[in-house]
């Protein structure tokens, strides 16, 4: 995916999206609006190095995400991790995006704060800000303590959200946005239990799930993704 001259403020959110839900979509939409981004991309992972094998195929997860974006046309799809062989390392994707966008573009990588406790298990995690700013969206719920090395790394880089646009990368900040207190694993359990009318999933995505009978067996519902 090319980067136009006007696309100088870019956001990207990665994830399994198994299945995609309003928690993902509303956070991404809020980030784009709050930071006045030229583009905000959803980047599905092919295979997370830290999670079990996906019980739902790449093609199904991609199709669901594509359908979800019909309700959120302000968001875009980025398939670079599906197009690349091997585990999906975020650092590789950010490096590639930086090469495409150029040194002057401002790039924001968005995660939920539930990922901070395991950030130090990511490949080359301390280099993430070499290529992008890290934006952490607060999620409802209580999470385990953040490792001291992550806390120290964070404090060395944290600045106010409004100041991020002054530099292309290298900083971290928090963002308050529209949050939905639900996870993909919880949705899979609901679907496995027969709840086919959950309001946490866009209608075309739910219709796709019904049509293809996804998440109707325990292996798909219980996968740690």
Residues (pLDDT < 50) of the chain are: 6, 223-225
Asked if residue 173 belongs to a domain, the reply is: yes
Distance of CA 175 to the CA centre of its chain: 14
Asked if residue 125 belongs to a domain, the reply is: yes
pTM over 0.85: yes
Q: What is the pLDDT of residue 97?
A: 96
Task: State the DSSP string of 21-45.
Answer: -HHHHHHHHHHHHHHT-SEEEEEE-
Q: What is the pLDDT of residue 54?
A: 57
Distance of CA 11 to the CA centre of its chain: 10
Task: State the DSSP string of 118-145.
Answer: GGGGSTTGGGGGGTSEEEEE--SS--PP
CB atoms inside a 10 Å sphere around CB 215: 23
The CATH number covering residue 46 comes to: 3.40.50.620
Asked if residue 223 belongs to a domain, the reply is: no
Identify any residues that bridge with 215 across adjacent strands, giving them in sequence order.
none
Q: What is the pLDDT of residue 217?
A: 74
Q: What is the pLDDT of residue 142?
A: 58
Asked if residue 186 belongs to a domain, the reply is: no
DSSP conformation class of 170:
S
Distance CA 71, CA 82 (A): 22
Q: What is the pLDDT of residue 46?
A: 87
CB atoms inside a 10 Å sphere around CB 188: 22
Q: How many structural domains comprise the chain?
A: 1
Asked if residue 105 belongs to a domain, the reply is: yes
Q: Which residue has the tokens 């839900």?
A: 21
Asked if residue 197 belongs to a domain, the reply is: no
Asked if residue 14 belongs to a domain, the reply is: yes
φ/ψ bin of 125: left (φ > 0), alpha (ψ from -120 to 50), beta (otherwise): alpha
Asked if residue 185 belongs to a domain, the reply is: no
Domain that holds residue 33: 9-180
């Amino acid at each position: 995916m090319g980067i136009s001259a006007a696309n100088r403020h870019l956001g990207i959110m990665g994830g399994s999206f198994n299945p995609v839900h309003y928690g993902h979509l509303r956070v991404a939409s809020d980030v784009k609006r709050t930071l006045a981004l030229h583009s905000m991309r959803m980047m599905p992972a092919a295979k997370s190095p830290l999670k079990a094998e996906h019980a739902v195929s790449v093609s199904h997860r991609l199709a669901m995400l594509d359908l979800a974006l019909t309700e959120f046309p302000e968001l875009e799809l980025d398939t670079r991790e599906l197009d690349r062989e091997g585990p999906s390392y975020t650092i590789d994707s950010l490096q590639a995006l930086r090469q495409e966008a150029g040194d002057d573009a401002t790039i924001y990588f968005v995660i939920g704060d539930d990922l901070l406790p395991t950030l130090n298990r990511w490949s080359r995690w301390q280099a993430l800000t070499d290529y992008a700013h890290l934006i952490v969206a607060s999620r409802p719920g209580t999470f385990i303590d953040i490792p001291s090395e992550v806390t120290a790394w964070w404090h060395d880089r944290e600045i106010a959200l409004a100041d991020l646009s002054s530099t292309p990368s290298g900083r971290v900040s928090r963002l308050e946005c529209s949050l939905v207190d639900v996870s993909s694993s919880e949705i899979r359990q609901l679907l496995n239990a027969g709840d086919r009318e959950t309001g946490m999933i866009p209608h075309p995505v739910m219709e796709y799930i019904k049509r293809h009978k996804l998440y109707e067996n325990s292996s798909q519902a219980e996968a740690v993704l």
